[in-house]
Amino acid sequence: MKREQLLGVGLLLVLWLGCGPQRERNNDQGGDDDDSADDGSVTDDDDSAGDDAAAGDSAVIVRTVPEPSEPDFFFRSNLEVEWSLPPNEASLDLRDAAGSAVGGSTEMENSGRTLVFDPDDDLSPSSQYTVTVSWSGDDSPLVFEFSTGSYGEQLDGAAEQGLVGRVFNLDLTAGNFVEPPGVGAILQSQIDDVAILFTMTAESNFDPASQPGLHILGAVGEIDGGQVSTDACSETLGFTYGADGVLGTSDDSPARWENPSMELGPTTLELNLSGLATTIEDLLISGAFHPELDDMQGGVFEGQIDTRPLAPVLDPEGGEDALCALILQTVGVDCEPCNDDGTEPFCLDLVIEDIPGVRVDGLSITPTTCVDIINSFVADGTTCQEAAEAYDADADADGVLDGTYPGCPAYPGS
């Protein structure tokens, strides 16, 4: 199976293996002899309500995000505080350098041990903040400072134009899987040598009055010994080219530039990777670029993948619902509807956050379609042979490919 096919199947395996019901975290510890939700003390015998209060009072902080004195906290990240035990009366106060309170929402996660503070607005880049964490405990409060880095500072005109043709690798394996949860390691084992590359094309317009105005071209590359390369016999990904795959037509879907961030989508991306075709609906890719174009941070990749074209790859004997049936049978999870009326329940959702976009120097992406690949093969009978034959078929089952290439609808005679 070619690398591009592995990417499609790998993502699908991730979704399959990752969308089982989440086991409830068991908070029972040591001498706790009941199953009540307020457990957490090693001495809780539930003889009195004071046991759990005492446990919360003894909670100590074991982790903060950011760390005290951190110099380059990302301006769009949430703040987190984790305790050894669920604390009582926990709160977080965030102030800017002028002493003004920063608004935000607070949520307790991790069975009540982790406080997550989500600021209402992006933090200011290259700025200092003070955090005060309070709870009912002997060590309360914890007060510390941190600073945001330069991400979030606007790019000047020269830097904006410098994005054109510059290639970045959207490293999905380094991201945080939100949906389905707990599958980051699975994805890394499946596609840790696969690069998801993208660049802004010369047709891009960065003028705020012309948004959305970015055009983005992508490719699936290979990572070998830290070096990234692309295959001339693989289709590129026209992220903003629309369903026809042609730039400059009415169905184009340009990305939005909000300096220093891009936001692509939501859009529909038709993938045809060496004959393995599928669709990503509601595709959204976003992130903020460093003012010196070193990389992109805070990336988000989300979309809904149609499992029907991929089902025969994993189960050649099954129908279009074979993969969803297998998922339901194995982990008891239904696929999501692919359409509004719910009659096509064959899709699965994917959400990955905090993805870095690593700059790849010395690499360019040349637009390549299935027609280009087939023409290269037809010209000399050898170039891109394997890739071209993946689009072909043997309709009369005589053991000889027909040369009609139905897997590439744009090819004449397909």
Structure token digits, residue 52: 């759990």
Residues sharing a CB contact under 8 Å with residue 120, sequence separation 6 or more, in sequence order: 102, 103, 104, 105
Q: What average pLDDT does the structure give for the chain?
A: 82
Within 251-321, where are the H helices? Answer: 311-314
Query: DSSP state, 177?
Result: E
Q: Are strands 295-306 and 276-289 parallel, antiparallel or unpaired?
A: antiparallel
Element (H, E) at 376: helix 370-380
pLDDT at 61 > cutoff 80: yes
- Residue 287 pLDDT level (bands cut at 50, 70, 90): very high
Average pLDDT over residues 291-318: 84
CB 56 within 8 A of CB 87: yes
Question: Structure pTM?
Answer: 0.77
- pLDDT, position 385: 94
- Residue 1 pLDDT level (bands cut at 50, 70, 90): very low
Q: How far is residue 178 CA from its own chain's centroid?
A: 8
- Of the ranges 223-232, 237-246, 323-332, which one carries the lowest mean pLDDT score? 323-332
Question: Is residue 115 classed exposed, middle or buried when 0-12, 13-18 and 19+ CB atoms within 10 A define those classes?
Answer: buried
Element (H, E) at 286: strand 276-289
- pLDDT, position 273: 52
Per-residue DSSP letters for 72-119?
-B-TTPPEEEEESSPPSS-EEEEEETTSPBPPEEEEEETTTTEEEEEE
Q: Cα–Cα distance between 339 and 380 in angstroms, integer?
A: 43
Report the 10 Å Cβ neighbour count for 414.
16
Average pLDDT over residues 178-198: 68
pLDDT at 191 > cutoff 90: no
- pLDDT, position 268: 80
- pLDDT, position 48: 47
pLDDT at 29 > cutoff 50: no
CB 209 within 8 A of CB 218: no
pLDDT at 6 > cutoff 80: no
pLDDT tens profile 33-55: 444 444 433 334 444 444 555 55
- Of the ranges 21-30, 111-120, 238-247, 367-376, which one carries the lowest mean pLDDT score? 21-30
pLDDT at 260 > cutoff 80: yes
CB 224 within 8 A of CB 264: no
pLDDT at 134 > cutoff 90: yes
pLDDT tens profile 92-115: 999 999 999 999 999 999 999 999
- pLDDT, position 96: 98
- pLDDT, position 255: 96
Q: Which domains does the chain have, with CATH numbers?
A: 3-8+159-368 (no CATH), 60-147 (2.60.40.1220), 376-414 (no CATH)
- pLDDT, position 276: 60
- Of the ranges 29-43, 73-87, 108-122, 228-242, which one carries the lowest mean pLDDT score? 29-43
- pLDDT, position 43: 36
- Of the ranges 74-88, 167-181, 218-232, 253-267, which one carries the lowest mean pLDDT score? 167-181
